[in-house]
Amino acid sequence: MRKYVNTGLLLLLAATLHGQDSLRQHRMLPFVSLSSGVLAGEHPQTGKILTSTTSLSGGLKVKQMRVGVGIGFDSYLEWQTMPLYGTIAFNLSKNTHGLFMQFSYGYAFAWMQENEFNRPSKEEGGRMLNPMVGYFLTTGSCRVGLSVGYKFQRVWARYDNQYNLASSFWPRHGNQTTVTQSIERVVVSLSVGWR
């Protein structure tokens, strides 16, 4: 997993720093953006919940379009995920402020918050999908955005040889439960960035 993280960070760095002058010749400018916000939804046990989401993305800006990669950290109460994603955004306005649309898609690594009754043998993340719309403001090279959207995250856990706590009979090997969980949340986030 460290390999993917390093690759993501390197891409981000490369997108930010690589050949700014040559890019400028092609009207391509690097950008970096840090977002933080809340994930709102309905949790099966606790009801309505708010959890946090944070991400860092970077890439190239071409006119009104921005293309890049990012890394994030999301919390879903018992699950924590680290998405690595590609992102594409489009400003609907040529002015210094206006609406924008953004779409991110990637894979998130996931970890479960284990407890006495929920201790998977194996856990995996899954695909992450995140369309957003928002409003941006730019002053100089600084850009601030407020966006709202939808986030889909898939996670997976496997439990081997579960046994009944009320019984002393150990199960035979081979018993297995897998849970594929599709998490849907509304995202509201605030981003601060360069360009």
Partner 1 sequence: MTRFSYVKFAFLVAASLICQNCSDTCTVSNTYIYYEPVYSTSAELKAAVSFDDPKPLTNLGKIYFKDGYLYINESGEGIHVIDNRNPSAPLPLGFITIPGNYDLAMVNNLLYADSFVDLVVLDVSNKQNIKEVNRVERVFNHALSYGYRMVTNENLILTDWEEVRSVTVQESECSGNQLQNWGGMWMEDGIALRSFSGVGASVIPTSTTGIGGSMARFTIAENHLYALDGAMLDVIDVSTPGQPKPKAEQEISWDIETLFPYNGILFGGSRSGMYIYDLVNPAAPQLLSKYEHVRSCDPVVVQDNYAFVTLRNGSECEGFVNQLEVIDITSLTNPKLVKIYPMTNPHGLGIDNSVLFICDGSDGLKVYDASDVNAITTNQLAHHQDIQALDIIPHQSIAMMIGPEGLYQYDYSDLTNIRLISTLAIVR
Ranges assigned E (strand) in 92-167: 97-112, 122-124, 126-139, 142-160
Q: Is 114 in the site for partner 1 (CB under 8 A)?
A: no
* Distance separating alpha carbons of residues 102 and 59, to the nearest angstrom: 13
State the Rg of the chain over Cα.
20
Is residue 161 within the footprint of partner 1 (CB under 8 A)?
yes
Residue 118 is which amino acid? N
Give residues 72-101 in contact with partner 1 (rule: CB under 8 A).
92, 98-99, 101
Contacts of 186 (CB under 8 A, 6+ apart): 39, 40, 41, 148, 149, 150, 151
Of the ranges 5-13, 51-59, 62-70, 155-163, which one interacts with partner 1 (CB under 8 A)?
A: 155-163
Residue from 3, 117, 139, 140 binding partner 1 (CB under 8 A): 117
Give the residue with the Cβ less far from partner 1, 86 or 131: 131
When binding is defined by CB under 8 A, the residue of 16, 51, 54, 181 that contacts partner 1 is: 181
* Closest residue by Cα to residue 61 from 130, 143, 150: 143
Q: Is residue 64 a contact point for partner 1 (CB under 8 A)?
A: no
Whether 136 and 100 have beta carbons less than 8 Å apart is answered as: yes
Number of residues that bind partner 1 (CB under 8 A): 43
45 is a site residue for partner 1 (CB under 8 A): yes
What totals of helices (H) and strands (E) does the chain contain, helices first?
A: 2, 9
- Residue 137 touches partner 1, criterion: CB under 8 A: no
Contact set with partner 1 (CB under 8 A): 40-45, 92, 98-99, 101, 117-118, 131-133, 148-150, 159, 161-167, 169-172, 174-186
